[in-house]
Amino acid sequence: MDLPQVERAFSGDYQRGWFASVRPASSSRPAVSRLNPTVMVDGKEFVVVFQELAAVPVSLPGPVVGSAKADRTGLIAAIDLLFTGF
């Protein structure tokens, strides 16, 4: 399971990033599409599982393999729904 970095935060000597798990869209269709948007990375479709959002040391995940920048609006809407319920 890959962990896309949502945001990086620095707090003193601790470098942590916000990461959410992703799954291939072909193997996972969540019930709440607004909370689990699909993103295209390198021509492949993935579902972002924001219920599994976590702050982890930035040294743990592997290298960057792509960008979901084009899907920014849907990703922010999902984070908003996760934290505010709207």
pLDDT value at residue 4:
54
pTM for the predicted model, two decimal places: 0.75
Contacts of 5 (CB under 8 A, 6+ apart): 17, 18, 19, 58, 61, 64
- Spans in the chain with pLDDT lower than 50: 1
Q: Is the dihedral of CA 7, 13, 83, 1 positive or negative?
A: positive
**75 touches 6 (CB < 8 A):** yes
Pick the CATH number of 5-84 from 3.30.70.3000, 3.40.720.10, 3.10.450.50, 2.30.30.110: 2.30.30.110
